[in-house]
Structure 1
């Protein structure tokens, strides 16, 4: 592990660099709303110090190849969802957060397709406030280095242009007055953690705008990882769909009968003062992975039509420190309960209640997301 002194220097550099980012005339990503059928070619054609949006949001059959740069992500059901990951082989989230693209489990969204065997255990949970898909993944199949502990993606970021820049999310689970799930509605608040061969994507109900709802998809607790942001009981090798209670907003806990909110520090050494609790679930249905994910042949030709990328490319994290493993990275998908270091674990659950450090991370640093 790196020393606390070295980590403090890197964190200071990350914060200083993020604060130095310039503002743009582009509206914050979370403020931009579009009907799925009316998406522009690029949501953010003008960038900032990190560069411009590298991909496109208007995706169709002509862009569905393994070279796709589609940055419109779909989250529907256990067999029909996408994840953000890198378009470049052997990459890390700390480097690629600004230019992530969509990788989908199902054809039809104009994206890259997860190869057979990528998903190794998935739990889809529907709650009153959010839908969460969480589980285990062979991250090398979606271009992440095997050693990458990963990080967090969300529609905010230090410059409010999102990670990835211009990345938007849609779902047919919140059909805006449609009861047959035939339409896609934009999800405003969402987050994803991926790394250490685990993932979680959570989408908050767009019809709810209460502070509690926003808190459930909060993006400022990136270092504490999946165990705190996505408490669940997913198991490797198990594919199930459940109903569940909503989690307690991250950071909130009860001590001696008093509800307290803990805020993740941006520097120094710290310990989370509570252990996350997995919400109750019910009505779980289990499926065979072979019934959910087909091994259809994957298109390999370069994307055409709407699939040409913009001229400029975005750098991974702007002025922030980046990397993977024990180096400075954006954040961790499986962060420990302390803010400076942790250890890799071979646990078979994404979260084990009462064991806050089960998903340790090597030197996770602040990610001003």
Structure 2
């Protein structure tokens, strides 16, 4: 049973809710952008939150620890990107619109995840999506120690995504027929990070329920509900799996019901169902040393200034996610050594009633 403990720990509101923003006429989630036709910046707006901070065309000229690449990938256990702040000691709530891609492999034009940051990772390939979740030392990714984070996705409070203009691609969808040389865009994706945990999911738009499997409207209940998983601290494994039940949908006594997250001004005192990871099989365990050979001796950049300007041409960049609420973090709910329990406490924001972190893994 998921222990929410939602009323035991209150946090003084460290940040206000995102201010109201005008919704753009061309939301990021509706933009179909072939990998070979990635523009310099996917977002061209300047009003509201301002212009896109980074770029989407990423290559060898941008591949430094100061890269501002905002095109990401979720391919395989040894090849994926996370989204985190460009400057050191920053909260996700303060940087959601400007996050940059940090990847496990060279060749994406991004920053590399520092050695030791990844402490346990599970990747599950399902018919409708690729999901990855795990444990991290978030301070090595410029995330403030103790920050319970929030959600990044292709929605955002104004439709521009978080980070603004963030794109995500994969070569691992079943519809790709195993062609690792061809990348497909996932217009629907979601990513939670904070509390030294993370989860990310990219949904296959060729499948019938991409939007339902990668919802953007449950940002306050973390990974346990948005990406139920069996990740364990210290374990690195890749599995095949079934599609999860869409977030908010549950069955009681044979009746299917949909729970909707309340407005930001309403405290969440409980969720009427316990999330369960979808069935998985054929799990293969690896050592981190054999997976992440490009990460040795990579330090934290701690800078916001890109070392190089992306040049025009076919895109090879990586990064994309969008954090929509402050403190909507991720959390774990399993054994002390599993992603399901690492954060079995739900922290509630006194200002907005936001579950910060006990809802990360199921």
Query: TM-score band, normalised by the shorter chain?
Result: 0.7 to 0.9
Whether 1:213 and 2:210 are equivalent positions in the alignment is yes
| Distance in structure 1 (CA, Å) of the matches to 2:56 and 2:337 | 36
| Distance in structure 2 (CA, Å) of the matches to 1:70 and 1:273 | 40
Please say if residues 176 and 185 of structure 1, whose CA atoms lie closer than 8 Å, have aligned partners that are also in contact: no
Whether 1:135 and 2:137 are equivalent positions in the alignment is no
Please say if residues 122 and 136 of structure 1, whose CA atoms lie closer than 8 Å, have aligned partners that are also in contact: yes
CA drift at 1:161: 0.4
Pair 258,45 (structure 1): closer, same or farther in 2 beyond 3 Å: same
Corresponding position of 1:72: 71
Pair 88,362 (structure 1): closer, same or farther in 2 beyond 3 Å: farther
Pair 178,285 (structure 1): closer, same or farther in 2 beyond 3 Å: closer
Q: Mind listing any 5+ residue stretches in structure 2 that lack a counterpart?
A: 1-8, 313-321, 355-362
Please say if residues 78 and 291 of structure 2, whose CA atoms lie closer than 8 Å, have aligned partners that are also in contact: yes
Please say if residues 197 and 332 of structure 2, whose CA atoms lie closer than 8 Å, have aligned partners that are also in contact: no
Please say if residues 130 and 173 of structure 2, whose CA atoms lie closer than 8 Å, have aligned partners that are also in contact: no
Corresponding position of 1:269: 267
What are the Cα deviations for residues 153-181 of structure 1, in whole angstroms up to 9, with x where unaligned?
00011210001100000111138655422
CA drift at 1:277: 1.2
| Distance in structure 2 (CA, Å) of the matches to 1:73 and 1:128 | 21
Whether 1:190 and 2:189 are equivalent positions in the alignment is yes
CA drift at 1:62: 0.5
Pair 176,268 (structure 1): closer, same or farther in 2 beyond 3 Å: closer
Pair 44,286 (structure 1): closer, same or farther in 2 beyond 3 Å: same
Alignment of 1:44-123 (within 5 A): 44-123=43-122
Please say if residues 131 and 204 of structure 1, whose CA atoms lie closer than 8 Å, have aligned partners that are also in contact: yes
| Distance in structure 2 (CA, Å) of the matches to 1:346 and 1:112 | 32
Pick the aligned partner of 2:336 from 337, 341, 347.
347
| Distance in structure 1 (CA, Å) of the matches to 2:84 and 2:204 | 23
| Distance in structure 2 (CA, Å) of the matches to 1:181 and 1:57 | 20
Alignment of 1:235-274 (within 5 A): 235-266=232-263, 267-270=265-268, 271-274=270-273
CA drift at 1:142: 0.6
Determine helix, strand or coil for the equivalent of 2:17: helix
Corresponding position of 1:339: none
Corresponding position of 2:22: 22
Determine helix, strand or coil for the equivalent of 1:306: coil
What are the Cα deviations for residues 26-82 of structure 1, in whole angstroms up to 9, with x where unaligned?
x21011122212111111122331111000000000100000000000110001000
Corresponding position of 1:314: none
| Distance in structure 2 (CA, Å) of the matches to 1:348 and 1:297 | 26
| Distance in structure 1 (CA, Å) of the matches to 2:328 and 2:257 | 24
Query: Which structure dedicates a bigger proportion of its chain to helix?
Result: 1
Q: Mind listing any 5+ residue stretches in structure 1 that lack a counterpart?
A: 309-316, 323-328, 337-344
Pair 49,201 (structure 1): closer, same or farther in 2 beyond 3 Å: same
| Distance in structure 2 (CA, Å) of the matches to 1:185 and 1:93 | 27
Count of aligned pairs: 329
Instruction: Provide the alpha-carbon RMSD of the alignment.
Output: 2.9
Using structure 1 for the length normalisation, give the TM-score.
0.81
* Greater length-normalized contact order (CA 8 Å, ≥ 6 residues apart): 2
Please say if residues 234 and 351 of structure 1, whose CA atoms lie closer than 8 Å, have aligned partners that are also in contact: yes
Corresponding position of 1:304: 308
Whether 1:231 and 2:250 are equivalent positions in the alignment is no
Please say if residues 59 and 110 of structure 1, whose CA atoms lie closer than 8 Å, have aligned partners that are also in contact: yes
| Distance in structure 2 (CA, Å) of the matches to 1:207 and 1:151 | 28
Using structure 2 for the length normalisation, give the TM-score.
0.83
Greater than 3 Å deviation, 4+ residue runs: 175-179, 295-302, 364-367
Determine helix, strand or coil for the equivalent of 1:283: strand
CA drift at 1:269: 2.7
